[in-house]
Amino acid sequence: MTRAHPTRRARRAQALLRSRLARLRRKLRSGAGTGAAVSPLAPARFPALAPVAGVEFASAAAGVRYGGRDDVMLARLAPGTAIAGVFTRSATRSAAVIDAQAKIGGPSEDGAAILVNSGNANAFTGARGDRAVAEIARAVARRLAIPPERVFTSSTGVIGEPLEPGRITAALDTLAAGLAPDGLEGAARAITTTDTFAKGAGGGFDIDGAPVRIAGFAKGSGMIAPDMATMLVYIFTDATISQPVLQEMLTRLNARSFNCITVDSDTSTSDTVLLAATGRSPAPAIVPGTETAARFEAVLEAVMRDLAHQVVRDGEGATKFVEVQVTGAADDADARRVAGAVANSPLVKTAIAGEDPNWGRIVMAVGKSGARAERDRLAIRLGDIRVAEAGWVAPEYREADAAAYMRRAELVIGVDLGLGAGAATMWTCDLTHGYIDINADYRS
């Protein structure tokens, strides 16, 4: 029996349906992020964050790509603010990243500003992209009466499309008029793209009875495999701390937080983390090597790790949050290789999505990682369930127990190589069809 070919009318109906679906996706995307349902791993609400002295925020709708929502945020920082940053090492990094890298470590006596747009990454746009960054920086500098060298910009969204700076500069009066200490949540929402929720975190402690506060926000959902930092992250504190000390601290903590997450193994052209210390707290200055510095670093690391985890929890299409723990490696570098191989493996991630305890895929990932490994020393566990050891399935392993464990929303995969003291931890998510749905028509 032969199968009938679709009639011309049927083909037209199919084409019309595809067109209507594309329009619906564009309409949904014109709302916050993609308009997709909020990730099942999202926190219940955006956190209540105490204002940080010396910084104000505003957001506005500039129409860079999305309609009916804010897509630009502005932060104004007090004179004397120290700013540290880490950036993508991508060979095709954006014009804004190159500009911001050049400005880090410059004079800090004057005020400063951070401006971020969503919808257009201004990456791979040649000299035109450089000019757009310069034009925006000059306009912000004039509006806020600060040097353009103290204006840091970021852009996120579609790569390869020219950014029209006029749309952003036309919104500066609205942004400047709306600057307020409690505008952080609005700023966080303005920079989202495929995110399903805005991401914020904060903390604080006292120095001799005087409070020091830290608050920040991030965006990120896909193209997440940081190679220095991550997505876009902005963290603010009212602590008094010198720029070199702040930079060294950020670089160190970044390696233990944002550089330990992955959603899809793709490194963005726009990855940026900026950390600003306004010095407006009445607390004494933070000096390296002191107990106070250690306390500050601990709170800062907690904020950074919280934001990093939220990015993974909002991974495009994600339904599972996964921690990959590697121990017993020959050294830390080998441990990181194994953790990355497991966390980025499409076969491991799809097994997680299907709630299948297919531990053989973990064995595969260890073997391909390039790290030193010996079959008869390797041990694998899912949570507290020992799955494999000594080159074979563990004697007490029961598939039913592992299958029940895989139904959880948060999972731990443990790998012990049995070779040394090297250790590493990475965080990832599962890989579902939702990831394909989002990225197959990202520009539609």
Digit-coded pLDDT (tens) for 179-194: 999 999 999 999 998 8
Q: What pLDDT does residue 228 have?
A: 40
Q: What pLDDT does residue 264 have?
A: 56
> Is 259 exposed, middle or buried, given 0-12, 13-18 or 19+ CB atoms closer than 10 A?
buried
CATH architecture entry for 55-313: 4-Layer Sandwich (3.60)
Every domain range in the chain assigned CATH 3.60.70.12 = 55-313
Q: What pLDDT does residue 315 have?
A: 83
Check pLDDT > 70 for residue 15. no
CA distance 68 to 135: 25
Check pLDDT > 90 for residue 379. yes
Token pair listed for 177: 């008029």
CATH number of the domain located at residue range(s) 321-440 in this protein: 3.10.20.340
Q: What pLDDT does residue 443 have?
A: 52
- Residue with tokens 């029996």, as numbered in its chain: 1
Every domain range in the chain assigned CATH 3.10.20.340 = 321-440
- Residue with tokens 């035109």, as numbered in its chain: 128
Q: How far is CA 369 from the centre of its chain?
A: 24
Q: What is the mean pLDDT of the chain?
A: 90
Distance separating the N- and C-terminal Cα atoms of the chain: 39
Res. 378 pLDDT band, cuts 50 70 90: very high
- 230 is known as an active-site residue: yes
- Residue with tokens 């799809």, as numbered in its chain: 350
Tabulate helix, strand, coil % of the chain (nearest 5): 35, 25, 40
Res. 26 pLDDT band, cuts 50 70 90: very low
Per annotation, catalytic residue among 125, 192, 193, 230:
230
For range 60-79, the mean pLDDT:
95
> Is 430 exposed, middle or buried, given 0-12, 13-18 or 19+ CB atoms closer than 10 A?
buried
- Of all residues in the chain, the percent with pLDDT exceeding 90 is 79
* Higher-confidence position of 269 and 79: 79
